[in-house]
Amino acid sequence: MNLPVIIKFVIDLLAVLLLALGIKGLSKVKSARDANRLAAFAMSLSVVGLLSYYLGTSGIAIQSWIWIIIGSIIGSLFGAILAKKVPMTSMPETVALFNGCGGMSSLLVALGVAIFPISGGQENLDFFKSLINEVSISVSIFVGAITFTGSIVAMAKLQGWLSTPGWTQSKVRHFVNIVFAVASLIAFFDLINGNTSSIWLLVIVSSLLGIGVTLPIGGADMPVVISLLNSYSGIAAAAAGFVVDSQLLIVAGAMVGAAGLILTQVMCKGMNRSLVSVLFGGSLSAQSTASTGSGEYTNITSCSVEECALTLEAANKVIIVPGYGLAVAQAQHTLREVTKKLEQNGIEVVYAIHPVAGRMPGHMNVLLAEADVPYEQLKEMDVVNPDFPATDVVLVLGANDVVNPQAKNDSSSPLYGMPVLDVQEARTVFVIKRGMSAGYSGIKNDLFDLPNTSMVFGDAKKVLNDLIGELKDLGVGEK
Partner 1 sequence: MSFISLLWVLLLGSLLGLELIGKVPPTLHTPLMSGANAISGITMLAALTLIVKAEGNVPLLIIGSVSLGFALFNVVGGFFVTDRMLAMFSRKPSNKK
- The total of other beta-carbon atoms located within 10 Å of residue 289's CB is 13
Tell which one of 212, 216, 260, 477 touches partner 1 (CB under 8 A): 260
Q: Interaction with partner 1 in 9-38: which residues (CB under 8 A)?
A: 19-20, 22-24, 26-29, 32-33, 35-37
Burial class (CB in 10 A: 0-12, 13-18, 19+), 152: buried
User: Helix H segments across 193-221?
Assistant: 198-214
Q: Interaction with partner 1 in 338-367: which residues (CB under 8 A)?
A: 353, 355, 360-363, 365-366
401 is an active site residue: yes
Tell which one of 125, 262, 314, 390 touches partner 1 (CB under 8 A): 262
- By CB under 8 A, residue 109 contacts partner 1: yes
Tell which one of 138, 149, 233, 285 touches partner 1 (CB under 8 A): 233
Among 124-132, 199-207, 274-282, 431-439, which window interacts with partner 1 (CB under 8 A)?
Answer: 124-132
Q: Interaction with partner 1 in 313-332: which residues (CB under 8 A)?
A: none
Tell which one of 191, 220, 243, 421 touches partner 1 (CB under 8 A): 243
Minimum distance of partner 1 from residue 157's CB (angstroms): 17
Distance CA 282, CA 213 (A): 10
Residue number, 41 or 457, with CB nearest to partner 1: 41
- By CB under 8 A, residue 127 contacts partner 1: no
Among 235-243, 386-394, 427-435, 467-475, which window interacts with partner 1 (CB under 8 A)?
Answer: 235-243
Tell which one of 240, 321, 447, 467 touches partner 1 (CB under 8 A): 240
Minimum distance of partner 1 from residue 9's CB (angstroms): 11
Minimum distance of partner 1 from residue 124's CB (angstroms): 16
Which position among 12, 221, 401, 422 bears the catalytic label? 401
Among 256-264, 314-322, 328-336, 418-426, which window interacts with partner 1 (CB under 8 A)?
Answer: 256-264
Residue 287: closest CA among 297, 277, 296: 277
Residue number, 23 or 215, with CB nearest to partner 1: 23
Minimum distance of partner 1 from residue 165's CB (angstroms): 27
Residue 233: closest CA among 169, 157, 176, 151: 151
Q: Interaction with partner 1 in 390-429: which residues (CB under 8 A)?
A: none
- By CB under 8 A, residue 269 contacts partner 1: no
Query: How are strands ordered across the β-sheet holding 317-322?
Result: 378-380, 348-353, 317-322, 393-397, 428-433, 453-457
Distance CA 381, CA 363 (A): 15
Tell which one of 119, 124, 411, 437 touches partner 1 (CB under 8 A): 119
Residue number, 101 or 436, with CB nearest to partner 1: 101
Strand 393-397 with 428-433, pairing: parallel
477: left (phi over 0), alpha (psi -120 to 50) or beta: left
Among 154-162, 226-234, 326-334, 409-417, which window interacts with partner 1 (CB under 8 A)?
Answer: 226-234
With a CB cutoff of 8 Å and minimum separation 6, the contacts of 246 are: none
Residue number, 241 or 282, with CB nearest to partner 1: 241
- The total of other beta-carbon atoms located within 10 Å of residue 266's CB is 13
Instruction: Please report how the helices 91-115 and 222-244 are oriented relative to each other, as an axis angle in degrees rounded to 10.
Output: 30
Tell which one of 5, 6, 10, 40 touches partner 1 (CB under 8 A): 40
With a CB cutoff of 8 Å and minimum separation 6, the contacts of 198 are: 186, 187, 190, 191
Q: Cβ distance 432 to 462 under 8 Å?
A: no
Among 265-273, 327-335, 339-347, 455-463, which window interacts with partner 1 (CB under 8 A)?
Answer: 265-273
With a CB cutoff of 8 Å and minimum separation 6, the contacts of 45 are: 11, 14, 15, 18
Amino acid present at 20: A
Among 154-162, 208-216, 243-251, 443-451, which window interacts with partner 1 (CB under 8 A)?
Answer: 243-251
Residue 456: closest CA among 466, 468, 443, 446: 466
Distance CA 239, CA 141 (A): 9
**What positions carry a catalytic annotation?**
401
